[in-house]
Structures are given as structure tokens and as C-alpha cells.
Amino acid sequence: MRTLLLSKADELYLEKCAQEHRFSYGIIIGHQADLSKTFVVHLARNNEEDADLEDLTEVGLTISDISSQALASQWLSASKMCPGSFDVIGIFVASTTDQSSEIKTAKKLFSDVYDILLKSNKSLGIYTTDVAQSDYVFLSYSLANKQVLCKSYTYGNGGTFSNMEYKFVEKPFEWIQLECMYDLEDILPIVNTARRINIEDQFQNIILAFRKNILVSEVFLQNEIVEDTIDLQTYIKKRKSKEEKLKAASSNATTPSSEASEALHLLNSQGFLGGSEIIRASILLPVKCQLAKPTDIKVREFNGTLRTSGIITTRIFCSPRNSIADAKRFLRDDILRSLTTRIQVYCDGLTDPYATSEAIFISEPPRRVFFSLPSEGPSTSGGVTVQFSEYLFRGEAPTVVVAQAKQILDVELDPEAIGMDAEGLPDDVPIQTSQDQADDTRSMASSMPKPELSRSLYMVGIAVALLVLLTSVALHYMLTDK
């Protein structure tokens, strides 16, 4: 049976929600440590309640009064802010009365929310490299008797509830941080023959193509291929043991060998010395021709190309219980989720989703910024601080992140504490639009004038020289006649 692990701060947050609002509901953000244990990372009360409901708090609201649309909107927005190792795993209700009799209503609420998410998101599984989630958590807290009801919900055939254990843990959860800087560089053909091309459809093709490639990618940890079956805790112990042996060999030898010194320097540069547990990762995509069968390689015509270029910063947080395979999957999920979110945010702001096939269309999606949950918030972590992310366009201020965090995650942020330097702004590089330059050199700036312009200046110079010569001859004859 699965067990839901909550911190004492989570219990205080549920109590606070029930005391201040009499009836509150929101989302549960969690992390799957292993098959039997799920950590609650954050609880976020929904702040989109209707004003009419706020006025009726004295009446005694129930689960049937919850807006499935507001809950689904918060669910989807929070999913975009979570790192790849975290997900929205369920719904909580906090009230002054006992809500355990509303199980049937809660079951319908889950079904309605899931249906809305499927409709608003063409494919709920597009955020992940794995199958879409179908098991969720329902948590109900009653202030009257300080009782907690925890159920596991499974979608399908009307939905079913099953018993689920829960436990409040005194000790803060331990997290291991993994980071990766993924360099995105790809060119896709535009096979649409229409003159006006839908930009959103083309961006969707980018996501689908990238998801297909990243599923077969290879993930390196600290520049090494690591066995998938071991867990992160074992991996870190092995790395530290290797570090200690190299240190001992280096200190005992009067003249350390070049191999030992080089290995020790490599461990130091990778961040494992000094107690740091930030694991650096890198992802290598296979060459496309290696993925295709000989029969899949074809020569065909297309009307244009779609080029993607940039760097995606990945920062995830795992439990020591997670296997290496889990960590690799979380890294892939985070990159895919970040790319999808940027494209969705960008497309939501388009005034015209179409572009002509003759035009060179330049898009600048938002960049990723990171922020930590306040220590006095619903959940805290030990050692490594858990971070979420938001996306800002060029020129947007950190106050946008502050407002989003309050609205979606129900946390108060300091604008000064938001990490804005994880991804730098792209350079403004002019693109030549000459039809004669169809290769990659058109994306490079050139200080040379165009050939047509050079010939024009040359002819003007000749014309001016002839004019000066004729004027001189005419003046010469005029003066000699006099």
C-alpha cells in the first residue's frame, strides 16, 4: 500500500486554511520516492474562488461547491512551474467540519478535473517521456476533530477510491539536486504547402520531434554512464569513496601520479568535494540517421525550415531513494516540460497564429527563472532548497513571478530572491534575407555591403568623375577664347 508522507509544516498549513477560510481546497504537489512512498512537497490553496462562495462561508460549504474549472486551471499552471521530478498528485480539502461523507462528490470532482485537463491539453502525457499519470491523492482535513482522510484515486470506469496510508514526518525531507544545461539545436522541414502556415502547429511538431529523440537519448552523470538499477544514495557513496581513496593515495605518495591528480581534479571540478551533492548531468541525442531505418530515409521537397536554437537550464530535486533510472527520466521530463511550457506561453500571446511561407519568422520564447519556496511555507527541505520555476519574456520584471507564485502556489516571494541569471537573454543577431543565401550563413551578421549596392556606388563614382572632367574641359575652352 502506498504511503503519503507529509511534514509537520503541511499539517500547520491545513489547519491555517481551515481556520482562516472555514472551507478551502487546493492542489498537492508531490514526489514519488519509490513504489510505496510519495512525498508531499507543497500544498497550495486555490485563490480563484468565486466571490459568491466567499460571501457564503458562514453557510458551510462542501466539496460540491468546488469549481472544477478553477481547480483544473491551477493544476495546469502549477504543472508548468514544477521541476521534472515533481508533479501535481492530487487535491486537498481543509474545513471546519468533517468532509468524509463527500467521497462520492470528490470522485466526480476528480473525474471532471481530469476531463478538463485532457481537453485543454491535447495530450496530458506530452509533458512527460512516460505514460500519463492516472493515480492521484485525495486528502481531507477536518479542524473539528483534527482528523485526516487520505484516499488514492484511480481514473477510469467512473473512478475508484482505495485506502491510502499517511504519515506526518518530523524530520525535513532530504533532497539531491541534479543540474543540466541542454543545448538545443535542430532544423525541421516545413511540409505544409499552404501559403499561410499555422505557427502553433509547427511548434507542436517541434515538441513531438523532440520528445521522440529525447526518449532514446543517453544521460551521463558527472561525465559517466551510470548503471540504472542503483539508487542515488548508493551512487553518491561510491563517488565519495572514490574521492577518499584518491585523496589518501595523493597524500601518502611523495609525488602523486598524474592519473591520480587528474582524477582528483576532475572530482573537484564536478562539485563532489566539500560535501556538495549537486550532480551535473549531460544529455546526448543520437544522430538522426542512426534512428531511421534505410527505408525511412527519403528525398522530398519542402517549403521551408524550422530552426530551434538555445539553451534549456534544468534543475531537478530527487530523493536518495530514487534510482538512477528515475533521475534520468526526471531530467528528460524537465527539459521536455520546459520546452513545451515556453512554446505554450509564447503561443498564448500570439495575436495572429499564422505566418506567410515567404516570410522569415523570428520567435523569442520566454526564458526560465528559478525561485525557492519560503522557509516558512507549507513544506521545507533539509540541506538542499527545493526550487520551482517561471518564465519571463524580455523586459518583464520579477514582480510577474511574484504575482504568479501567489496566485498559483499561494506563497509570498521576495523579488530580489528570484534567480534571473540561469538563462541569459539571447543576443540580437541580424539575419540577412537575401534569396541567394539559403544556407546557414544567412543567420550570420555581415559587415560587407550587398553586391548590388557596391556596383551602384561604383557607377556613381564613374559618373561624377566624367562630370568633373567635362566641366574642366568646358572651362578650359571658355578661358582660352577670352
Q: pLDDT higher for 358 or 456?
A: 358
Residue 451 belongs to some domain of the structure: no
Residue 251 pLDDT > 50: yes
What is the average pLDDT value for the chain, to the nearest integer?
81
Same domain, yes or no: 164 and 188: no
Residue 468 pLDDT > 90: no
Residue 272 pLDDT > 60: no
- State which of 389, 417, 445 marks the end of a domain: 417
Q: For residues 151 and 89, is the Cβ–Cβ distance under 8 A?
A: no
Residue with cell 534505410: 294
Residue 460 belongs to some domain of the structure: no
Same domain, yes or no: 269 and 398: yes
**According to the model, what pLDDT value does residue 259 have?**
55
Task: With cut-offs at 50, 70 and 90, classify the pLDDT of residue 254.
Answer: low
Per-residue b or e along 232-269, where b marks 16 or more CB atoms closer than 10 Å to that residue's CB: beebeeebeeebeebeebeeeeeeeeeebeebbeebee
Task: With cut-offs at 50, 70 and 90, classify the pLDDT of residue 59.
Answer: low
**According to the model, what pLDDT value does residue 391 have?**
95
Domain, as residue range, for 273: 176-417
Give residue-wise pLDDT tens across range 84-99: 999 999 999 999 988 8
Residue 400 pLDDT > 90: yes
Length of the chain: 482
Q: pLDDT higher for 191 or 319?
A: 319
Same domain, yes or no: 272 and 349: yes
Pairing of strands 173-174, 381-382: parallel
Q: Give me the number of domains the chain comprises.
A: 2
Q: pLDDT higher for 330 or 285?
A: 330
Residue 477 belongs to some domain of the structure: no
**According to the model, what pLDDT value does residue 273 have?**
39
**According to the model, what pLDDT value does residue 474 have?**
74
Q: What is the pTM of this model?
A: 0.81
Residue 292 pLDDT > 70: no
Residue 442 belongs to some domain of the structure: no
**According to the model, what pLDDT value does residue 276 have?**
54
Residue 116 belongs to some domain of the structure: yes
Same domain, yes or no: 411 and 294: yes
Residue with cell 499539517: 11
**According to the model, what pLDDT value does residue 13 have?**
95
Residue 355 pLDDT > 60: yes
**According to the model, what pLDDT value does residue 164 have?**
93
**According to the model, what pLDDT value does residue 24 have?**
92
CATH number reported for the structural domain that contains residue 93 in this entry: 3.40.140.10
Task: With cut-offs at 50, 70 and 90, classify the pLDDT of residue 384.
Answer: confident
Q: pLDDT higher for 434 or 306?
A: 306
Highest mean pLDDT of the ranges 150-159, 326-335, 431-440: 326-335
What are 343's three cell numbers?
512554446
Residue 146 belongs to some domain of the structure: yes
Q: How many CB atoms lie within 10 A of CB 173?
A: 23
Same domain, yes or no: 215 and 126: no
Same domain, yes or no: 149 and 196: no
Same domain, yes or no: 311 and 281: yes
Give residue-wise pLDDT tens across range 196-250: 888 888 888 899 889 988 988 999 999 999 999 999 999 999 888 887 777 777 6
What are 185's three cell numbers?
539545436
Same domain, yes or no: 167 and 244: no
Residue 424 belongs to some domain of the structure: no
Same domain, yes or no: 132 and 195: no
Same domain, yes or no: 360 and 214: yes
Residue 323 pLDDT > 90: yes
- State which of 417, 442, 463 marks the end of a domain: 417
Task: With cut-offs at 50, 70 and 90, classify the pLDDT of residue 388.
Answer: very high
Q: For residues 239 and 272, is the Cβ–Cβ distance under 8 A?
A: yes
Residue 457 belongs to some domain of the structure: no
Residue 102 pLDDT > 70: yes
Same domain, yes or no: 208 and 164: no
- State which of 140, 171, 202 marks the end of a domain: 171
Same domain, yes or no: 241 and 290: yes
Task: With cut-offs at 50, 70 and 90, classify the pLDDT of residue 462.
Answer: confident
